[in-house]
Amino acid sequence: MKLNDMLVLAIAAASGVSASTDFWGLNYNPKRADGSCANVYDVMNDLNALSNYTDTIRIYSVKDCNHGEPVLRAIENTDWKVYLGLWVGEGDLAYELDKAELRRLSQYFDLKRHVQAIIVGSESIYRGEHTTSDLAAKITDTKMLLEELGLGEIPVTTADVGYLMDSTVIDAVDFVMTNGFPYWEGLDVNIAAEQFYKHLDELIERAGGKKVMVSETGWPTNGEKLGNAVPSTENSLIYMRDFICEARARNLDYLWFSAIDAPWTNMPGEPPNVEAYFGILTPNYTPKYPGDPWFTCENNSTTTSSSSLSPSMSTPELSTPEIFTSETSMPETFISETSTSEIPTSTPITPQFPSFTVSRTRRTRTRSRCRVPKTTINTNSCIPTTRSSRTRRSRRTTRSRPTASPQRTS
């Protein structure tokens, strides 16, 4: 049996999973637990495990670790869907490298079949690396590239904190994506989802009728307390239930953060040390939450009384992922720069451009984060959180089922 055939079987098996453990989509970073780069077999093992929970993933960069290729290779000839990220860091280098890699990958993979959208940047405004005008220009530039490649129907957007998205960005994107983490606001888990949706509703008002999708939200299972926000498996499950039950009631598309724990993201001695613990699975694919299903949505409400958690028992008994190795079955093709008409077998990638690594450096913001999004960006009118700054490292490069992707707007 060929490698992709086995993955198709794994995806088919996921159709029997309870809707309560079925995510609209998951943020996914292919890197290994030690931070090393993944190969196609690593990605296929990951997706085999994740197929119990979703058929949609997002990656943050196609060029970081050259991960775009093994991800696209792993989902080839399957029904997996992917949101591809182009990283936007300080300056233009990372973006240009990602854009060039997207152009190259388009020669070898059926992007129209699998790619739901191109996400230009992740919190580049929040980190202060780009203005909204700069980011909007890159979004427009990416649209032009897709048109040139005959992929103009693939939507283009960005992912950032909702209150920072002004009309310049909203006008540029085909649909709006927003990140929101009540943990980072120091909120008690019992009011976290309610506050999240208040912020989301304000962004929806400002979006002018464009579709709004949640690009990241989640709650850590371990790490240090931040304000009233306490990381734990129980609290993570409470927030998961409250957020997802409301998302289903609203028919809201979302990408849960995240798929698999990432131990390599923790920086010893720099609290709150929670970045490693947002996954629904541990690096060895063990589910982190008890029961099966993990929770139920009785009345599709964020209130605790209308939904319930599974009893604290053993972890759910899910199918054990089959581990693929280089001896299992060699992929039929790997990409080579030497030919666009014939793709040789067993040939590793030869990048046209140097690889880069997305910055993992923690960044301390000097201004407070607004709890309530504002129509105009004015930090003097923000309602600040209880702390004077928000320490967080630069972002990772980390449905009703499924709905049609939004169409390109002119």
Q: Does domain 3-393 have CATH number 3.40.350.10?
A: no
Are 313 and 205 contacting, i.e. CB atoms less than 8 angstroms apart?
no
Backbone angles phi, psi at 6, to 5 degrees: -65, -35
Residue 13 has pLDDT above 50, yes or no: no
Give me the residue spans of the domains in the chain. Answer: 3-393
pLDDT in tens, 360-369: 333 333 223 3
CB atoms within 10 A of CB 64: 25
Please tell me which residue, 380 or 212, carries the higher pLDDT value: 212
Q: Among residues 35, 98, 91, 25, which one has the least CA distance to residue 58?
A: 25
Beta strands (DSSP E) in 69-227 are 81-86, 115-122, 156-161, 176-179, 212-216
Q: Among residues 368, 402, 394, which one has the least CA distance to residue 383?
A: 368
pLDDT > 90: percent of the chain:
64
**Residue 326: predicted pLDDT:** 56
* pTM for the predicted model, two decimal places: 0.78
pLDDT in tens, 232-275: 999 999 999 999 999 999 999 999 999 999 999 987 777 778 99
CB atoms within 10 A of CB 314: 9
pLDDT in tens, 291-348: 888 999 986 554 333 467 754 433 334 445 566 665 554 344 444 333 332 332 223 3
CB atoms within 10 A of CB 205: 11
Helix (H, G, I), strand (E, B) or coil at 165: coil
Across 155-171, average pLDDT: 98
Q: Among residues 300, 273, 280, which one has the least CA distance to residue 49?
A: 280
**Residue 281: predicted pLDDT:** 98
By CB atoms closer than 10 A (0-12, 13-18, 19+), residue 178 is buried
Alpha helices by DSSP H, listed for 207-318, are 233-250
**Residue 298: predicted pLDDT:** 81
Angle at 212 between CA 210 and CA 214, to 5 degrees: 165
| Buried-exposed string 343-380: b where 16+ CB fall within 10 A, e elsewhere | eeeeeebeeeeeebebbbeebeeeebbbbebbeebeee
**Residue 230: predicted pLDDT:** 98
Residue 3 has pLDDT above 90, yes or no: no
Identify the helix (H) or strand (E) that includes residue 57: strand 56-59
pLDDT in tens, 113-138: 999 999 999 999 999 999 999 999 99
C-alpha 217/C-alpha 229 separation (Å) is 14
Alpha helices by DSSP H, listed for 152-232, are 167-172, 189-206
Least confident of 93-97, 199-203, 275-279, 391-395: 391-395
Task: Give residue for tokens 């310049």.
Answer: 168
